[in-house]
């Protein structure tokens, strides 16, 4: 994986911001300065640091939420508050989505993830 894609996926910054961090010498991989965003790394075995903080790779994110009454189970809605609006800015990712649905007037447990395979397995009739 390209180091700039890795850093962008881990929410270090936009691609432009990541390129600036690399250019300014803030990024190291396996103890060596990264000089190009095109540099290839293995997220499972290589160590990447932003200054003195290690950046760890995580592909999938899982959240379990107790959905309150009055909130709709959707990623976006122009008229009503959604479960995605309940996330703080640190945890929010635009690739997250709710697994299944709960009515607006229903309270209950809801899984939110970016793992499409898990979502399919949980909702598939063949797994019930």
Domains and CATH numbers, the chain: 3-55 (3.10.290.10), 62-127 (3.30.70.580)
Structure confidence by residue, pLDDT tens digits, 74-92: 999 999 999 999 999 888 9
Structure confidence by residue, pLDDT tens digits, 12-66: 999 999 999 999 999 999 999 999 999 999 998 999 999 999 999 999 999 999 9
User: Average pLDDT of 98-111?
Assistant: 95
Exposure class string for 37-67: b at 16+ Cβ within 10 A, else e: bebebebeeeebebeeeebeeeeeeebebeb
Q: Which residues are catalytic?
A: 103
| pTM for the full predicted model | 0.76
């Amino acid at each position: 994986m390209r180091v700039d894609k890795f850093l962008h996926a881990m929410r270090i910054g936009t691609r432009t911001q990541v390129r600036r961090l690399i250019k300014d010498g803030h990024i190291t991989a396996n103890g060596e300065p990264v000089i190009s965003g095109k540099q290839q790394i293995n997220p499972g075995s290589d160590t990447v640091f932003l200054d003195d903080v290690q950046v760890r790779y995580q592909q999938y994110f899982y959240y379990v939420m107790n959905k309150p009454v009055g909130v709709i189970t959707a990623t976006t809605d122009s008229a009503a508050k959604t479960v995605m609006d309940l996330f703080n800015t640190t945890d929010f990712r635009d690739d997250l989505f709710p697994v299944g649905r709960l009515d607006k007037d229903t309270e209950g447990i809801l899984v939110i993830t970016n793992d499409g395979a898990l979502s399919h397995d949980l909702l598939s009739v063949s797994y019930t």
